[in-house]
Amino acid sequence: MSLLSLDRICRRHRQGPHERIVLREVSLELDRGELVTVWGQRLSGRSTLLRVAAGIEPPDSGVVRFEGHDLTRAAGDALGSGIGYCHRSARTVEARAILDALMVSQLARGIPPPTARKRSWAALERTGAGDCVSSSSHELDSAEALRVTLARALVLEPSLLVIDEPTEGIDLLERDPILALLRSLADEGTAILMATGESAALSGSDRALSLSGGELRGGAVPELAPVVPLRQHAQGNKQASA
49 with 26: CB under 8 angstroms? yes
Domain borders along the chain are: 4-82+158-241, 91-157
Q: Quote the percentage of the chain above a pLDDT of 90.
A: 57
Q: Which position has the higher pLDDT, 207 or 223?
A: 207
218 with 187: CB under 8 angstroms? no
Closest C-alpha to 150, from 120, 110, 115: 120
The alpha carbon torsion through 106, 108, 111, 113 (nearest 10 deg) reads 80
Q: Quote the percentage of the chain above a pLDDT of 70.
A: 84
Q: What is the mean pLDDT of the chain?
A: 84
How far is 36 from 165, CA to CA, in rounded Å?
13
Q: Please give the model's pTM, rounded to 2 decimal places.
A: 0.85
Between 27-41, 122-136, 172-186, the lowest mean confidence (pLDDT) is in 122-136
* Alpha helices (runs of H) in 76-171, residue ranges in sequence order: 98-107, 113-126, 142-154
Q: Is the pLDDT of residue 136 over 50?
A: yes
Q: Are strands 191-196 and 18-30 parallel, antiparallel or unpaired?
A: unpaired
The domain at 4-82+158-241 falls in which architecture?
3-Layer(aba) Sandwich (3.40)
| DSSP-derived 3-state class of residue 80 | coil
pLDDT in tens, 137-158: 778 889 999 999 999 999 999 9
**Confidence tier at 230 by pLDDT (50, 70, 90):** low
User: Of the ranges 35-39, 76-80, 215-219, which is most confident?
Assistant: 35-39
List residues bridging with 7 in a β-sheet.
63
How far is 7 from 210, CA to CA, in rounded Å?
17
pLDDT in tens, 58-114: 999 999 999 998 987 765 565 657 999 998 654 444 446 888 888 988 998 899 999
Closest C-alpha to 147, from 169, 121, 166: 166
The alpha carbon torsion through 155, 185, 64, 221 (nearest 10 deg) reads -170
Q: Is the pLDDT of residue 44 over 80?
A: yes
Closest C-alpha to 3, from 195, 192, 219: 192
pLDDT at 149: 92
